[in-house]
Amino acid sequence: MIRLPSKPSDSLQWDLSSIPEAGPLFWHFDLGLEDPFFPLDDEMRFQTLSLALTQFKEKVWPLFQERTQGIVLYKGSADFLQFFLWSQKQKANWLSWQEMGLKVDDVQAKRLFCADAFVYYFQMLSYFLPDEVPIYLFLDASEISSLAYRHQLISKERFEHFQIVVKGLSEFNGLHWVDDQILENPLSTQAVCFPLQKECHENILAEIEKIFVSFQTPFRVISEAFLTEDWEGVEILHVLKKGLSSFGERKLKGFEAAGGKIVYY
């Protein structure tokens, strides 16, 4: 992974001489996004970071386009609340966000809000990068004790425009971050259907957590929103019925028609 120093204090005079002459390339922009209290509202900071991405797109990308496998915009904790800067604007946004009425623990609710704020920022930055290249976020969820909270936080619904590489969540149905390596998750034949984000109230999360801890064998977690895309290889699907939407019920009929077994709770 090739690190590109891209903070406002960096010159952007990247040394490309040490780049291998062959093989796939991953570019890691060090934008300072994982630094404590990053100022999401600072327009000047955003313009400075976008300048770095634009320079890459115009001067570096054309030289290495064929070999580039992905761009890493962020590598750090999935718990953005730990270092979130609560400006007056973000405090107002938080009050508006609460109007959605998602009934979860207050700390978890703030985690979700902070993640949403950063996702929006990531999306704004991504507009300055080539459309063809996948954009990766490396998220370390290991510091959050509840498995249900972890999966709610790093849901593909929230990060659907990015490639997510997760640390500290072995059940995640996707890419994993182990010692700076990107590894595919072994495809277990058993999976738990995770409810849509709008259905993930505290009582639903508590029931999902019970299902998770009851497993004695490997399993994976599949979001209801991406059920048909991600159920390949699944033979037994565990479903919390009261957390299932009517659209999800129709998807499950297709799963059963394909020979899959469903265990309801």
Write out pLDDT tens, residues 12-69. Answer: 999 888 898 888 999 999 999 999 999 999 999 999 999 999 999 999 999 999 999 9
Write down the pLDDT at residue 178. 84
Residues with Cβ within 8 Å of 140's Cβ and at least 6 positions away in sequence, in order, are 76, 77, 78, 166, 167, 168, 177
The answer to whether 81 and 117 are in contact (CB under 8 A) is: no
Q: Which amino acid is at 74?
A: Y
- Taking only the tens place, the pLDDT of each residue in 127-143 is 999 999 999 999 999 99
Instruction: Give the list of residues 6+ apart from residue 104 with CB closer than 8 angstroms, or none.
Output: 112, 152, 200, 201, 202, 205
For residue 184, the model assigns a pLDDT of 83
Q: What is the DSSP letter of 195?
A: P
pLDDT digits (tens, 9 = 90+) for 176-227: 988 777 888 777 899 999 999 988 999 999 999 999 999 988 899 999 999 9
**Are the CB atoms for 265 and 240 separated by under 8 Å?**
yes
Domains of the chain are: 1-185 (no CATH), 186-265 (3.40.50)
pLDDT at 21: 86
Rounded to an integer, the average pLDDT of 241-246 is 93
Calculate mean pLDDT across residues 234-257.
94
Q: Which two tokens mark 195? A: 């409810």
Q: In what order do the strands lie in the sheet with 190-194?
A: 220-223, 190-194, 236-239, 261-264
pTM for the full model? 0.92
| The pLDDT of residue 206 | 95
What's the mean pLDDT in 158-162? 94
Give yes or no for residue 91 having a pLDDT over 80. yes
216/221 Cα distance (integer angstroms): 15
The predicted pLDDT at position 236 comes to 96
DSSP assigned state of 24: -
Phi then psi dihedrals of residue 148, to 5 deg: -60, -40
Question: Exposure string (b/e) for 210-248, b if CB count within 10 Å is 16 or more?
Answer: ebbeeeeeebbbbbbbbbeebbeebeebbbbeebbeeeb
pLDDT for the residue numbered 168? 83
What's the pLDDT score for residue 68? 94
Q: Which two tokens stand for residue 86?
A: 């609560």
Average per-residue pLDDT for the chain? 93
